[in-house]
Amino acid sequence: MSKIKPAKGSPYARILGVGGYRPTRVVPNEVILETIDSSDEWIRSRSGIATRHWASPQETVAAMSVEASGKALADAGVSPEQIGAVIVSTVSHFKQTPAVATEIAHRIGAVKPAAFDISAGCAGFGYGLTLAKGMVVEGSAQYVLVIGVERLSDLTDLEDRATAFLFGDGAGAVVVGPSDEPAIGPTVWGSEGDKSETIKQTVPWDEYLGKGGGEKFPAITQEGQAVFRWAVFEMAKVAQQALDAAGITADDLDVFIPHQANMRIIDSMVKTLKLPDHVTVARDVETTGNTSAASIPLAMERLLATGAAKSGDTALVIGFGAGLVYAATVVTLP
């Protein structure tokens, strides 16, 4: 018989607060058209994107995360000293070590929390949320700060007609804590590594450095049509699995918050899932662009701030991207 004592956590976990930060510079499509042969109409029709935010040198991954975290903590009514863990999902923090989570934890005033980064691309927020839920239920942390943050403008090839218009910068954060009732459903997550070449960094860092930086700086590239088909058909199945795992149907949903990759993907998923008209759908991509790991919490924050969604609503969230990886779950909005 095991001598290990059982965990003394909460029976359930929930999102208690959300915060977001968008860089001050707003970049319209006209700026993108200075370096690619396209049109505003083509960009909007292909992606639904009209503007995106690009960070200044001062708006670092850490700085944006601190701003979003402060808002999330205030929204949750939780002090930095109560945070037991900080999880940061990002692919655009260029310092390999230490984890940027440790810097963020220090800057917000957390006291010796667990702190680490994860690299799960556009599904990263869902991965972090799932880990945070486990920590709260297990009892290893009472409150967990989950951050999705990107400076994808640093990894954008402005001469690549397929991707130059897609990416934006920003940070979104949530505080996860104890709950007396289920408020974060089971996560349906996974990967399809055989498709990893469809979204990737153009040049590995070691090759770039080995050639003395003589090549074009590494950027994110993707096979658009292959990604579109995968996202629309396969991710709709994953989204349905998340609904099934939570024991609800599309009729029970109030809100749908998919990764803000592309408006056409979002609209196609809504159609495939046969979401009722009463379901509010996040379409933050129009003015924020694709912010990878930050897109779901940023979209969630905007829906709540504008009143398009309200506290207590039932929301389906799903992230998917490079890897190819994915994560979907049903949550109660803070």
- Known catalytic residues? 122, 259, 290
Q: CA 3 → CA 6, 139, 141, 220, distances in Å?
A: 9, 18, 22, 49
Phi and psi at residue 95, to the nearest 5° = -85, 115
Strand ranges (E), the chain = 12-21, 25-28, 51-54, 83-89, 114-118, 143-151, 169-179, 188-191, 199-201, 220-222, 255-258, 280-281, 314-321, 325-332
CA 58 from centroid of its chain's CA atoms: 22
d(CA 316, CA 258): 8
What are phi and psi for residue 88, nearest 5 degrees? -120, 125
Two tokens, residue 56: 């200044």
Q: Are the beta carbons of 114 and 84 closer than 8 angstroms?
A: yes
Tokens of 169: 């910068």
State the Cα–Cα distance between residues 199 and 317, nearest whole angstrom.
21
Token readout for 170 is 């920003």
